[in-house]
Chain A
């Protein structure tokens, strides 16, 4: 319950935040909504001398839908994504997934940037972002670069983000009108990370499939997407089951998780197909 002490910083622009990260190296970490980091600090699994709070940086807020893409700034909260006027129409899979994340209080503070940058395979947004082929904008001392969500996750808590970089924005190409979508999640109760979850986007002869919490990273399977685009549901499920690598934990043994993965993926596909038009 009791975290170790730290020095607190609240910069008002991105350059100052990066400056603080450069100055303190490994000893510093950004804090967004704090709903993964603070719990880890309270259990003393994370111990940082400097916290760089991003809440006062206006450039990290806001959702824009323009030019065939959605741009979501990193500090946008789950609650803001759920309640945003245009986002639910432009990219409904995002709202569907966000409503299955955590609980109301956590969604008021937890941010999309924190969710995707955290690197915990239990987080739902990473698999979703791989499904919709999002790109993450990273700003660091050397400038700005973009990394595809599909190339961002290396292992549990290891991502392509450098220590002195801040994930500032997520860019998602708008799916063509008439694309079907679904985010299907099996969990033990409200607020739990998935036993298995699937993100599916389908339509116009294309398909994309990713799954959550069935390996030490989210899994996007190109073969599953290709099979599904051809209308081969069983081929898609088989390809995905070959790509995942779940671990036994208190959500169940490996054989159970593979079984659940198949069930959830079939449900997600069915719902996405139903919605495609």
Chain B
């Protein structure tokens, strides 16, 4: 099959490559671009370990052909660190609240949580669970992931000076 010239914007950087249209976006990211945070946990589009942000939507990159994604703006977990290279708020809250163990679902979880909190900055616990339902985790039992996301919401909504305190209070309330 004819290869096509694919252009994407990934984590704010213009990238391009030659690829068969059938190549799945997850393979293009991992194998062509060496962006190996997004993972593959299934072949039936259930697990969400491959979740990336594409044009402002959470998508499972195992269920998008690179041909469909040509021209898209993509953010992966690698793009969610702060400018100085330190952990972003959601990443930091997953660490602080033990929202990961093996870490295999974590890039998809964090990328999905990023979009969820953009759309619903103050979710309830129930909304977090429903909003994260496309992401499976084998290790955590989800409880601490929920805490991490609620804590992130608190931090992201707080005025910069008092962000620490508000984040902790919101988590205490959730517990």
Among A11-19, A101-109, A198-206, A238-246, the stretch that binds chain B is: A101-109
C-alpha spacing A79/B57, complex, angstroms:
10
The digit string for B42-75, where 1 denotes a CB below 8 A from any CB of A, is 0111101001000001111011110110100000
Q: Would you call B134 and A106 a contact (CB within 8 A)?
A: yes
Q: Would you call A53 and B67 a contact (CB within 8 A)?
A: yes
C-alpha spacing A38/B43, complex, angstroms:
10
Nearest Cβ on chain B to A185's Cβ, whole angstroms: 14
Among A2-10, A86-94, A134-142, A155-163, the stretch that binds chain B is: A2-10
Q: Would you call B22 and A4 a contact (CB within 8 A)?
A: yes
User: For residues 29 through 60 of chain A, which have their beta carbon under 8 Å from a beta carbon of chain B?
Assistant: 31, 34-35, 38-39, 41-43, 51, 53, 55
The digit string for B105-147, where 1 denotes a CB below 8 A from any CB of A, is 0000000100010000000000000011110000000000000
B165 within 8 A of A: no
Q: Would you call B67 and A8 a contact (CB within 8 A)?
A: yes
B162 within 8 A of A: no
Q: Tell me which residues across on chain B come within 8 A of A103, comparing CB atoms.
A: 48, 133-134
C-alpha spacing A177/B136, complex, angstroms:
41
A1 within 8 A of B: yes
Size of the chain B interface, CB-CB below 8 angstroms: 31
Nearest Cβ on chain B to A78's Cβ, whole angstroms: 11
C-alpha spacing A79/B62, complex, angstroms:
19
C-alpha spacing A105/B60, complex, angstroms:
6
Q: Tell me which residues across on chain A come within 8 A of B57, comparing CB atoms.
A: 79, 108-109
B4 within 8 A of A: yes
What class of interface size applies to chain A in its complex with B?
20 to 34
Q: Would you call A42 and B68 a contact (CB within 8 A)?
A: no
Q: Would you call B131 and A104 a contact (CB within 8 A)?
A: yes
B20 within 8 A of A: yes
Q: Would you call B45 and A7 a contact (CB within 8 A)?
A: no
Q: Tell me which residues across on chain B come within 8 A of A190, comparing CB atoms.
A: 133-134
Q: Tell me which residues across on chain A come within 8 A of B131, comparing CB atoms.
A: 104
Q: Would you call B59 and A109 a contact (CB within 8 A)?
A: yes
Q: Tell me which residues across on chain B come within 8 A of A79, comparing CB atoms.
A: 57
Nearest Cβ on chain B to A79's Cβ, whole angstroms: 7
Q: Would you call B21 and A108 a contact (CB within 8 A)?
A: no
> Which residue of A is nearest B20, CB measured?
A5
A191 within 8 A of B: yes
Nearest Cβ on chain B to A153's Cβ, whole angstroms: 24
C-alpha spacing A6/B23, complex, angstroms:
10
B14 within 8 A of A: no
Q: Would you call A108 and B48 a contact (CB within 8 A)?
A: no
Q: Would you call B133 and A34 a contact (CB within 8 A)?
A: no
For A108, give its contact among B1, B58, B133 (CB under 8 Å): B58
Q: Would you call A43 and B43 a contact (CB within 8 A)?
A: yes
C-alpha spacing A83/B62, complex, angstroms:
25
Q: Tell me which residues across on chain B come within 8 A of A3, comparing CB atoms.
A: 22, 24, 65
Nearest Cβ on chain B to A202's Cβ, whole angstroms: 27
Q: Would you call A191 and B51 a contact (CB within 8 A)?
A: no
> Which residue of A is nearest B51, CB measured?
A105
Q: Would you call B68 and A35 a contact (CB within 8 A)?
A: no
Nearest Cβ on chain B to A244's Cβ, whole angstroms: 27
In the complex, 8 of the A-B residue pairs with CB atoms within 8 angstroms, ordered by the A residue number, are A8-B4, A42-B43, A55-B68, A106-B45, A106-B134, A108-B57, A108-B59, A191-B133
Extra A-B contacts (13), CB below 8 Å, given A38-B45, A43-B43, A104-B132 = A1-B62, A6-B22, A34-B64, A39-B63, A42-B62, A79-B57, A104-B112, A109-B63, A109-B64, A190-B133, A190-B134, A191-B46, A191-B134
A residues near B (Cβ < 8 Å) are 1, 3-8, 10, 31, 34-35, 38-39, 41-43, 51, 53, 55, 79, 102-106, 108-109, 190-191
Give 6 closest A-B pairs by Cβ, nearest first: A103-B134, A5-B1, A8-B21, A108-B57, A8-B67, A1-B43
